[in-house]
Amino acid sequence: MNIHEYQAKAVLAKYGVPVPRGHAAFTPEEAVAKARELGGPVWVVKAQIHAGGRGKAGGVKVVKSVEDVEKEAKRLLGSTLVTHQTGPEGKEVHRLYIEEGSSIARELYLSVLVDRATSRISFIVSTEGGMDIEEVAAKTPEKILSFSI
């Protein structure tokens, strides 16, 4: 099963995990309305596709004005985002996640997935990475912890 970031954050919030406020948007006008609803002064406009590497591919942008929210929404919606996980054909962007900006003191990596070989829930965690987790895995695999429950 694949779910978008905004859907995953809704599940986390439902169970009391603190997540930044945000809303899905399907049009540039809706993106602007959601940004105004969140308030500013910083927003993150995120393409919602089922693939990692969105940030490096230009699908995640930090903006500081409602006008820039609209500009990024127009650029992303209907575009094809090509990442290392999509292959050269890419994936078309049909929705965005407009999220309030956050001050980042420390970036951590957490992934939860179903290991199909063992039918167990697996966690992958690291104090390094974020957007560059693949590079961390290749160069310093000892900085990544994985376990199953």
Q: Rounded distance, CA 29 to CA 35, Å?
A: 10
Tell me the torsion sign for CA atoms 72, 77, 83, 89: negative
Q: Give the mean pLDDT of 136-147.
A: 92
Q: Rounded distance, CA 41 to CA 52, Å?
A: 27
Q: What's the fold here for domain 5-100?
A: Dna Ligase; domain 1 (3.30.1490)
Is the model more confident about 105 or about 37? 37
Q: Is 46 helix (H, G, I), strand (E, B) or coil?
A: strand
pLDDT digits (tens, 9 = 90+) for 49-93: 999 889 989 999 999 999 999 999 999 999 999 998 999 999 999
> Domain boundaries in the chain?
5-100, 109-148
What pLDDT, on the 0 to 100 scale, is given for residue 103?
A: 87
What pLDDT, on the 0 to 100 scale, is given for residue 93?
A: 98
Choice among 11-25, 75-89, 100-114 with the minimum mean pLDDT:
100-114
